[in-house]
Amino acid sequence: MVNSEKKTAVVAFGGNALLPETQEGTFEEQQANADAAAESIIGISRNGYDVILVHGNGPQVGQVLVQNEESSEKVPMQPLDACVAATQGTIGYILTTALRRTAKRLDVDVDTVTVLTNVAVSPADPAFENPTKPIGSFMSAERAQEMEKTKGWKIIEDAGRGYRRVVPSPKPRRIMESKAIRELAQAGNIVIACGGGGIPVARVNDEFVGLEAVIDKDLASSLLAEEIGADLYIVLTGVSQVAINFGKPNMKLLDRITVSEAEKYMAEGHFPPGSMGPKIAAALKFIKSSGKEVLITSAEKLEDALKGQSGTYIIPDAQ
């Protein structure tokens, strides 16, 4: 039964939350990390929200690509879109197990469902002419030449560490399953969707086909929040609050800032492209299209942040 009285929250978190660089990356480690995060996610539901969860997959798809490459002499290599789909299934399984187990322990009546999600991009996106996103393992010059010749890969030399494949990262245009995702959430499920930014597809000759590309998870989750009419967009990251002058003696934590203030700080270079920048950009995109708020915080501080006692809220400018 659909509960139209509850608000909807889209929650985005990175693949590193399940597979940190400090760990080997075993299935058991990822399950334990999911178990640790599950209570915070269940807490959003207990605070009166239908929850849609969007996860990254950078480390996980990297593992799949290494397996792909290392076994290529025995089994055919799979295309990148299929590898993204594979991580959606595996991570969805890990998160579903953790959330169901936690819901039972907390006596919370909520179930979990994973939606294999396709995200439409434009085949004319400039990213396809200039691939920049590194994926997979480092390789020798000889292996790089072989892959360029046999697979048509674009490969770059990476800071003296070896050669690495780069692929396009086009902008997401439409979440193909957004209607089903919204309905499943309104029916009382925690929905896991748009994993890894979604499986990139584009319309070619009047049908959608998968592409060798990756989609930014923050942009995809922001677009999903926009398309389903989410009331709150939550970005979980490694810090409890956004800061300016990060890591410096004059560092300042931000509790609540407007869109204009966030844009000013971004222009001043406080949110670098390799860290907080993409998250702030995705947040601003959602706010400008919806007029709603964005919360950025850590999983550990999420419950406090929902009460206004931690985290950083980005809000629309005063009308």
Could you give the 3-state DSSP secondary structure of residue 8? strand
Q: Tell me how far apart the 2 most distant CA atoms of the chain are, in Å.
A: 62
16 is catalytic: yes
Sheet holding 189-192, edge to edge: 111-114, 189-192, 49-55, 7-13, 232-236, 293-297, 312-315, 256-258
Cα–Cα nearest to 55, from 220, 225, 200, 238: 220
74 is catalytic: no
Report the C-alpha gap between 198 and 214 in whole angstroms: 8
**Position of tokens 């006596």?**
107
Residues 189, 217, 285, 311: which is the catalytic one?
Answer: 217
217 is catalytic: yes
133 is catalytic: yes
Residues 25, 47, 133, 238: which is the catalytic one?
Answer: 133
Contact present, 298 and 36 (Cβ < 8 Å)? no
Residues 189, 279, 285, 311: which is the catalytic one?
Answer: 279
Residues 15, 56, 92, 311: which is the catalytic one?
Answer: 15
Cα–Cα nearest to 212, from 170, 149, 177: 170
- Enumerate the active-site residues: 15-16, 133, 217, 279
